[in-house]
């Protein structure tokens, strides 16, 4: 596993699945960013709380759905309707939510301890979402399995995550800047929606590529594009037979 190789595969997945990935993320971030805009304009604690909750749940829903899209492609499965990817993720949302909360607490405690344990936790637990979705693990098993997969390559995985986060953060700031430097209702809503739709899929695809690199190192994440495959007639409707 190399950092450049995983980033390249993540970018290749992004390019190949751009239409579906952007749509899946965009629909959710349209709602999440609307809540953000209301929170900014109202300035109330309740609005901010709702915004944070929707951001957490919406982000997990997007990540899970994107993992499922790549999984279908990797396993040469027939394509599904976009709502089906949301439905698959909703069935695992409770586990994803529990894992996300425990991940945040674990990383925070690690940073409060000596910082280094927090950095190790970020790397060791980076594959929790793909493991919950692909291997259908509970959150405890997902943490254990993620740690086992990353062990021995913790430094490289941490560097990969830092690079991916820097790239997505810079891209998010750049996209948001296009819609105005001031935090108005419309700039927050539209800028957040566009940034979420365009940027979030890349980071999710990088982590999915990392999962497959560590679990199936000899098998490419993406099947040969020249091989016979079904086409997606509509990203919302089922494929025509």
The length of the chain is 241
Rounded to 5°, angle at Cα 107 from 206 and 175:
45
Contact predicate 11/20, CB 8 Å: no
Q: What is the predicted pLDDT for the residue at 123?
A: 87
Q: Which two tokens stand for residue 210?
A: 């990392």
User: For 167-176, how does the pLDDT look when each residue is reduced to its tens digit (9 = 90+)?
Assistant: 999 998 888 8
pTM score = 0.83
CB atoms within 10 A of CB 3: 16
Percent of the chain topping pLDDT 70: 91
Give pLDDT tens digits for 146-169.
Answer: 999 998 889 999 999 999 999 999
pLDDT of residue 216: 87
How far apart CA 137 and CA 128 sit, in angstroms, is 9
Q: Delimit the domains of the chain by residue range.
A: 3-215
Six-digit token string for 90: 């909703």
DSSP code of 217? Answer: T
- Residue range 187-212: average pLDDT? 90
* Separation CA 180–CA 189 (nearest Å): 11
Q: How far apart are CA 62 and CA 69, in angstroms?
A: 11
Check the CA dihedral 49-141-124-205 and report its sign. negative
């Amino acid at each position: 596993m190399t950092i450049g190789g995983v980033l390249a595969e993540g970018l290749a997945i992004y390019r190949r699945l751009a239409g579906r990935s952007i749509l899946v993320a965009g629909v959710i971030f349209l709602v999440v960013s609307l809540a953000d805009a209301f929170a900014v304009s109202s300035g109330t604690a309740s609005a901010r709380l709702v915004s944070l909750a929707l951001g957490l749940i919406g982000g997990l829903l997007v990540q899970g759905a994107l993992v499922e899209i790549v999984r279908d492609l990797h396993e040469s499965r027939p394509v599904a309707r976009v709502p089906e990817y949301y439905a698959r993720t909703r069935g695992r949302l409770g586990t994803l939510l529990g894992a996300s909360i425990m991940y945040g607490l674990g990383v925070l405690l690690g940073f409060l301890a000596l910082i280094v344990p927090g950095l190790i936790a970020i790397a060791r637990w980076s594959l929790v979402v793909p493991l919950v979705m692909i291997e259908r693990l509970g959150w405890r098993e997902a943490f254990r399995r993620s740690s086992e997969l990353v062990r021995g390559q913790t430094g490289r995985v941490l560097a990969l995550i830092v690079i991916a986060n820097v790239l997505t953060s810079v891209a998010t700031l750049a996209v948001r800047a296009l819609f105005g430097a001031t935090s108005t209702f419309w700039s927050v809503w539209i800028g957040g929606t566009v940034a979420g739709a365009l940027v979030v899929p890349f980071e999710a695809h990088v982590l999915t590529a990392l999962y497959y690199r560590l679990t199936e190192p000899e098998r490419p994440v993406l099947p040969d594009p020249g091989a016979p495959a079904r086409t997606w007639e509509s990203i919302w409707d089922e494929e025509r037979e």
